[in-house]
Amino acid sequence: MQPSVEARLLKLRANLNEAEMYLGPPLGRSDVDALQSLVLSTLGITLPESYLGILSRHDGLAAAGVFLYSSTSRSYRDGGSALAFVEMNLLACDQGSMGGYVELGESDMDCYVFEFATGRYQVRDKVAFDNVYEELTSLDGLLGHIIGLIEQHC
């Protein structure tokens, strides 16, 4: 993760309480390997290394209705929970629009995906999936977009 993106994320975390923002603990190497194995056996894909790198720093993010999926479902103190990567992607696959993509997170209107064919990260409409609002060459670019949405609402 680029230092400027990490700094923005940590500034948000410092300014928001636990009820306003969830930032997951880092995943250890064995947890990253276990997730990669689960994703391969369940979804038949290999996750981008950049996404695994983010999870090794922060396993999930939730604030202002914006989510970056966690490796597993995690409960918040207020009774909510972080959205789990595999379960959310199984749901997306059931809806039939995710061939060639993996969903990394979402907001109320958009989903954040990695497109395998192009190696790009995209912001797509949740309902009209063919509508691409942003296409980014790196996960840091997508994280910058996500952090910007949170900053606008907080």
Average pLDDT over residues 79-104: 78
Mean confidence (pLDDT) of the chain:
89
Question: What is the count of structural domains for the chain?
Answer: 1
Q: pTM for the full model? A: 0.89
Sorting pLDDT into bands at 50, 70 and 90, what band is 154? confident
Which DSSP helix (H) or strand (E) runs through 5?
A: helix 3-15
Structural domain that includes position 31: 3-153
SS3 for 137?
A: coil
CATH code for position 111:
3.40.1580.10
Kindly report, residue by residue over 107-117, the tens digit of the pLDDT.
999 999 999 99
Q: Which of 154, 120, 153, 144 is nearest to 9 (CA)?
A: 144
